[in-house]
Amino acid sequence: MTAKFIPWKTLDRRTVLDAQPYLSVEMRTIELPDGRTIPNWAWVATPDYINVVAVTAGGEFICFRQTKYAIEGTSLAVVGGYIEPGEDPLAAAQRELREETGYRAERWTSLGSYAVDGNRGAGVAHFFLAQGAEKVTEIDADDLEEQELLLLPHAEVKTALMKHEFKVLAWAAIVSLALESLEGNPVT
Amino acid sequence: MTAKFIPWKTLDRRTVLDAQPYLSVEMRTIELPDGRTIPNWAWVATPDYINVVAVTAGGEFICFRQTKYAIEGTSLAVVGGYIEPGEDPLAAAQRELREETGYRAERWTSLGSYAVDGNRGAGVAHFFLAQGAEKVTEIDADDLEEQELLLLPHAEVKTALMKHEFKVLAWAAIVSLALESLEGNPVT
């Protein structure tokens, strides 16, 4: 980071909406590097979450077809969920894989951690690739959504991604990052 | 969509925070397919936005190094911005490319539209790949962030993505989707 990039300062913050544990909103007063202040910068606090692209020893991707309140119809999806208070992101990822699918995996790779909204926060998304997944127990999920577990071959996941069938931003992001990581393409 | 996937019903909505144009929050009453109701489902309304991965005729990717309030230090970034009221997503993408970089591009491809938060909304992200970009005018941006324009070769963008140097979810998502789309890798 070069010296010219000066971080914004937070001068003040007040909670204007408290709907914990899922959402709270602060109005913050921000000072820009040039001295200007912004008196009402909305900051959204929502729980950090994890998503997992899990691939079986046979190379199949563990996906779901499911509904989600913010989208129309159904979407392809991957394992995901909120991190519990004090929980490590990787532990949350392993827990969600087990609860939602009954699988566990030995090889775990971080695909990165990302601010969901660069301006307003809205939590951090932690992404993991889990390889060598095998079924070890029954599904024990408490999700509100109806969902159907699917084991999809690599080529089918790729085609679905390019046809925009993963309709939630985090799902499209992690599937795309996982494919880039797995394919390790040389650049032509 | 098979018949078993029944959409959730919205029974009631009331605005609990109005900080337009950037944020408002509703508390909604939701009915699940099994008849249960959820009385306080937070719904976040933020503006829809666009991001653009623009590639020059010479194959360089138009990126930025910049600060962003929700992240520490700097991040690699791509063109992006809120869609203005009534504006078409593609028109917004073309406007933001011109304003932020002074480039225009002839070939535009959708990389999909995604719900930013599958539960709470938080707007829709519309992603575009712009190819054959050429500089036609000066930069005319009104962004609050300090940013430095970079023209990066494909291999460098790919390496940076895999090293998690695009730190905002939408930026990592669109760069990854653009690489997948451009590389068009056969699945091995």
Chain A residues within 8 A of B185 when measuring between CB atoms: 183, 185
pLDDT in tens, A60-94: 999 999 999 999 999 999 999 999 999 999 999 99
Contact at CB, A6 and B67, closer than 8 angstroms: yes
- Tell me how far the alpha carbon of residue A46 is from its chain's centroid: 12
- The answer, yes or no, to whether residue B113 has pLDDT greater than 50, is yes
The residue type at B120: R
Contacts A–B by Cβ distance under 8 A = 203
Query: Which of A104-108, A183-187, B75-79, B130-134 bottoms out in mean pLDDT, i.e. has the lowest?
Result: A183-187
Q: Write down the ipTM of this complex.
A: 0.94
Flag whether pLDDT at B4 surpasses 80.
no
Mean pLDDT of chain A: 93
pTM: 0.94
Pick the CATH number of A49-183 from 3.90.79.10, 3.20.20.110, 3.30.300.30, 3.30.565.10: 3.90.79.10
DSSP label at residue B167: -
Per-residue pLDDT averaged across A168-181, rounded? 97
- Considering only A36-40, A148-152, B141-145, B164-168, which range has the smallest mean pLDDT? B141-145
**Residues in A 126-145 with any Cβ partner in B closer than 8 A:** 144
**Separation between Cα atoms, residue B185 and residue B179, nearest integer Å:** 10
- Is pLDDT above 60 for A188? no
> What is the overall mean pLDDT for chain B?
93
**Mind listing the pLDDT tens digit for each residue in B5-45?**
889 999 999 999 998 889 999 999 999 999 999 999 999 99
Residue B1 is predicted with a pLDDT of: 44
Query: What mean pLDDT comes out for the span A42-62?
Result: 96
**CB-CB neighbors (< 8 A) of A154 in chain B:** 187
Angle (nearest 5°) at CA A131 between A128 and A137 = 95
pLDDT at A92: 98
| C-alpha count within 13 angstroms, C-beta hemisphere, residue B55 | 20
Query: Which residues 79-98 on chain A approach chain B with CB closer than 8 angstroms?
Result: none
Q: What is the pLDDT of residue A16?
A: 95
Which residues from chain A sit within 8 angstroms of residue B116, using beta carbons? 116-117, 122, 169
**What residues of chain A lie within 8 A of the CB of B65, using their CB?**
5
Answer yes or no: do B185 and A187 touch at CB < 8 A.
Answer: no
Residue B124 above 80 pLDDT?
yes
Confidence of residue B184 (pLDDT cuts 50, 70, 90): confident
Beta strands in chain A (DSSP E): 9-19, 23-31, 37-45, 49-56, 60-66, 75-77, 79-82, 103-104, 107-117, 121-135, 147-153
Kindly tell me if the per-residue pLDDT of B186 is higher than 70. no
pLDDT(A3) > 60: no
Average pLDDT over residues B81-109: 97
Task: Give the minimum alpha-carbon distance from B103 to chain A in angstroms, rounded to a whole number.
Answer: 24
Would you say how long chain A is, in residues? Answer: 188
